[in-house]
Structure 1
Amino acid sequence: MSDDASTSKGEWWFYHLERTSLEEALGPLLEKCLQKEWRVLIVGSKERLPRLDLGLWTWKDTSFLPHARADKAGDTLERQPILLSTESTPANNADIIVLLDGNRLPDEPSDAAKYVRCMVVFDGDDYNARDTARTQFKAAKDAGQTVGYFQQNDRGGWDKKG
């Protein structure tokens, strides 16, 4: 974990997708995490992981995001800067956890303190994921944790709301 990562724990950042696919939107967010030398665990559905895997290799013509799927990484799990998984076990010693598809931490909101940041990325048209994000937001806020809400703008970037 980088020195920067050890200074802040348990933040919840919510990203509300409205313009692009999740696979397109994650690229810039993950690139920023890697620039800070943070390890990332992405927890998504079994159906999403193949699309996300391909999307991270091809998201930008000039670069790729180094990653592996937990079900295919074998004994290299702990070395992966970005690990894609259906489980919230941080096998790569993640600083950041990204929850997709309505996934949750086992003990919310307190488990967020295990990470520098818990990022919940959800499509506004996915009612299950949206409702789960609302519940997570309220629980984190009620617990006194730092929360941030970002809504995707017309250019595909993020505007902080509230």
Structure 2
Amino acid sequence: MTEIFFYHLTRQPLDRALPALLEKCLERKWRVVVQASSAERVSALDDTLWTSSDESFLAHSADPDGQDEPIWLTTTEGNPNGAAVRVLVDGAEPPPDLEAYQRALILFDGHDPDALDAARAQWKALKAAGHDCAYWKQADDGRWTKAG
């Protein structure tokens, strides 16, 4: 069964938290698909990943033929780069073949009541489907701590 990690963003916005999580995945040699709920968010994430750090570069693509890149940005359910990790942002719904992934990360804005409600609904549905879900929150120093 796929491990599902919920990340409750309270200290950093998505555009700051996501690059650090992607770097951790790449350190483990995992390819990643990042699924957003809109083309506008994919475009914004594309820009963010180009400029997130002066010290490193996160190789990625938002091109429909993103199979050569370790990170692929999309609004669709596809997995052209053979990713082991699926990241869902902005309430994007998990694909039906979520079991094909080693891990899924669901990032949600802790300051948005609608995002909180959507994350709760996803948690319940994924738990009911038999997935092992864990909840991560940011400590005061910005580090992630497992809370459940």
Fold in common (TM above 0.5): yes
Map of 1:57 onto structure 2:
50
One-letter amino acid matched to 1:32: K
Gaps of 5+ in 2: none
Taking the TM superposition and a 5 Å limit, the aligned residue runs for 1:81-160 are: 81-107=70-96, 111-160=97-146
Tell me whether 1:10 sits opposite 2:19 in the alignment. no
Map of 1:66 onto structure 2:
59
The share of aligned pairs that are identical, in percent, is 46
**TM-score, structure 1 as length reference:** 0.84
Q: Partners of 1:88 and 1:130 in 2: how far apart?
A: 22
Q: Partners of 1:30 and 1:117 in 2: how far apart?
A: 12
Q: 2:28 aligns with which of 30, 36, 41?
A: 36
Task: Give the match's secondary structure for 2:120.
Answer: helix
Q: Partners of 2:33 and 2:78 in 1: how far apart?
A: 8
Residue deviations 1:61-111, cap 9 Å, x none?
21111101135xxx4x2111000001121121111100011011243xxx3
Map of 1:6 onto structure 2:
none
On the 8 A contact 1:27/1:56 being kept in 2, the answer is yes
Taking the TM superposition and a 5 Å limit, the aligned residue runs for 1:15-26 are: 15-26=7-18
**TM-score, structure 2 as length reference:** 0.91
Residue deviations 1:10-55, cap 9 Å, x none?
1100000011110100111101111111110000122212221121
Q: What is the CA-CA distance between 1:121 and the residue it aligns to?
A: 0.4
The number of residue pairs the alignment matches comes to 147
- Report the aligned-residue RMSD: 1.5
